[in-house]
Structure 1
């Protein structure tokens, strides 16, 4: 009985450590868009489940939540209000909207992939 209890405790500790490794993979990392459409966009994952970046013209910031090893929810809560060319402003709005649809991510070497409903919507490379 003691052996089984020890094994269960050890398993719980190991599995608990796995989820924190995911957070460490993303926290403190800064990425630049590898998507041609949003080539000037960046995202950086800060402490306390915060993120910030540049959408091409304006800076933005928000909160993120990791649900397990691959699920993520991004909530953009604000951005600066600088003006720019209409086409670039429209791309920026689309980029911010796309961030809000992200429900999963994958880190592959220096690349960060964001997915929405199983489809890759954004790709970044580590700076």
Structure 2
């Protein structure tokens, strides 16, 4: 009889634990159901090269988040200051690490928005891609919605950029003029026509370059750069940087110079 009682108590205890786990799981799913999201691993390759603008809170301050590196590095504008950080994944959860900002000051309302945004990012728990939106959910269930920044090439007319993330020592530039990438590839000038739809690039067949010779190191850098540019598949812009992603997820990152 005693054995039967002990067995009943053990079964009841296990049922209580099981119900508690189910309630916890249901609660977590319920918190996310409002966004019609399911908990799943985030594919980092889908983020590489993309830039997003925060729109559901602080919509007037052009707060952005950009994934311009293949190693989970993150850049953006927090309101007044630019910031950089990185993120790590643990199963379905994400964490942003070591958020660093520049130290400019600005209007009080923008600085308040910036400080709140950084706090939200520090408390991020989940990150999702849904259509053209990036959604970040914090540990206290605050939802940050970012919309992919779709380029209008007219906004880039007259802007000049310098390659900043590779081929150091070689002055490589890019601008967009009349539906073409133009610039200095190190030794020569180039003109590569392209078509653009929703940030997706299709390179034209009749790119041109001048035919001057130069130092061997510069010529090698030029060949590497033009090979990457001719495999461009995606482009984004975040007010300071132009980013071009190739068909194999390599990144050409350019700083705005004028």
Match of 1:116 in 2: 246
Please give the alpha-carbon distance, in whole angstroms, between the structure 1 residues aligned to 2:160 and 2:216. 27
2:193/2:207 contact within 8 Å kept = yes
Match of 1:45 in 2: 176
Measured at CA, do residues 118 and 107 of structure 1 come closer, stay the same or move farther in structure 2, by a change above 3 Å? farther
Please give the alpha-carbon distance, in whole angstroms, between the structure 2 residues aligned to 1:118 and 1:107. 19
Match of 2:223 in 1: 93
1:29/1:44 contact within 8 Å kept = yes
Please give the alpha-carbon distance, in whole angstroms, between the structure 1 residues aligned to 2:187 and 2:162. 14
2:153/2:176 contact within 8 Å kept = no
1:104/1:116 contact within 8 Å kept = yes
Superposition RMSD in Å: 2.2
Normalising by the residue count of structure 2, what TM-score does the alignment of the two structures yield? Answer: 0.38
What is the CA-CA distance between 1:120 and the residue it aligns to?
Answer: 3.9
Give the alignment of 1:1-127 within 5 angstroms.
22-37=152-167, 39-47=170-178, 49-68=179-198, 70-75=199-204, 77-117=207-247, 119-127=249-257
What is the CA-CA distance between 1:62 and the residue it aligns to?
Answer: 2.0
Could you give the per-residue CA deviations for residues 32-83 of structure 1, whole angstroms, max 9, x where no partner exists?
Answer: 1112315410011112x12310011111112121111x21234461111111
| Larger RCO, structure (CA 8 Å, separation 6 or more) | 1
Match of 1:7 in 2: none
Please give the alpha-carbon distance, in whole angstroms, between the structure 1 residues aligned to 2:217 and 2:228. 17
Please give the alpha-carbon distance, in whole angstroms, between the structure 1 residues aligned to 2:164 and 2:187. 17
Could you give the per-residue CA deviations for residues 2-26 of structure 1, whole angstroms, max 9, x where no partner exists?
Answer: xxxxxxxxxxxxxxxx97x622233
Q: Normalized per residue, which structure has more helix?
A: 1
**Unmatched runs of 5 consecutive residues or more in structure 1:** 1-17
1:51/1:61 contact within 8 Å kept = yes
**What is the count of residue pairs matched by the alignment?**
107
